[in-house]
Structure 1
Amino acid sequence: MAVTSEQLMQVVVAAAEEKKAHQIVVLDLEGISLVADYFVICHGNSDTQVQSITTEIRKQAEGQGAHIRGIEGVDSGRWVLIDIGDVVVHVFHRDEREYYSIERLWSDAKVVEFV
């Protein structure tokens, strides 16, 4: 059974929360971008935490049958991009998140509330 993009987004958020990711933001890109339905953006306070968050997201997504299309930036641990198809995840180091502020670039996207 295929997981929906919304379910996958929830799996990603739960995995990030499990590894204590900071300021998790989900942007709903449906109708705005053909790239993905959701961007999940979060950060860690160290390279090690960024890598740990990335590993957990990958493990949980694959556990739900999702195919990881690509991961970039894991070695540096500063800005990791995880392409899971309809969900694209950005795991930043705190300093890079402040610098790039990609939430501003997608300011026309709706922020998804989750609990």
Structure 2
Amino acid sequence: MDNKKASNVMLLDMRDVTLLADYYILCDGSSRRQINAIADELIEELKKAGTQPARMEGTPESGWMLIDFGSVVVHIFSPEKRDYYQLEELWQAAPIVVRML
């Protein structure tokens, strides 16, 4: 994700918050093209490691893409959608493992 300049990256430990995944990764892409590039690179790199996404939702045009890798779920937002949904507030009980602005 760093190669494609994802910003405002946050890794949340969800193990005590939900049964859906162990970790959530939230990050921003500044444009539709960048959101798509971040998603493509992430999928490609994890495929090399033998991991395929279980499902994907959203599109770069919607401003929010979700990529479910089972124990890790990645949310890629436009800054506007991230501000609108404020998932950090929803999951405020989850410890922040890593935050990179």
Counterparts of 1:45 and 1:75, CA distance in 2: 11
| Aligned-partner residue type, residue 52 of structure 2 | H
Where in structure 2 are the equivalents of 1:31-70 lying within 5 Å? 31-70=16-55
Q: Which has more strand, going by share of residues? A: 2
Q: CA RMSD in A?
A: 1.5
Find the residue that maps to 2:2 and give its secondary structure. Answer: helix
1:66 Cα offset (Å) = 1.0
- Using CA pairs under 8 Å that are at least 6 residues apart, name the structure with larger relative contact order, 1 or 2: 2
Counterparts of 2:60 and 2:90, CA distance in 1: 25
TM-score of the aligned structures, taking structure 1 as reference length:
0.81
Runs of 5+ consecutive residues of structure 1 not aligned to the other structure: 1-15
The list of structure 1 runs, each at least 4 consecutive aligned residues, that deviate by more than 4 angstroms after superposition, is none
Cα distance change, pair 114–94 in 1 and its aligned pair in 2 (3 A): closer
1:17 Cα offset (Å) = 1.3
Question: Which is worse superposed, 67-76 or 40-49?
Answer: 67-76
Q: Percent identity?
A: 36
TM-score of the aligned structures, taking structure 2 as reference length:
0.92
Counterparts of 1:114 and 1:51, CA distance in 2: 21
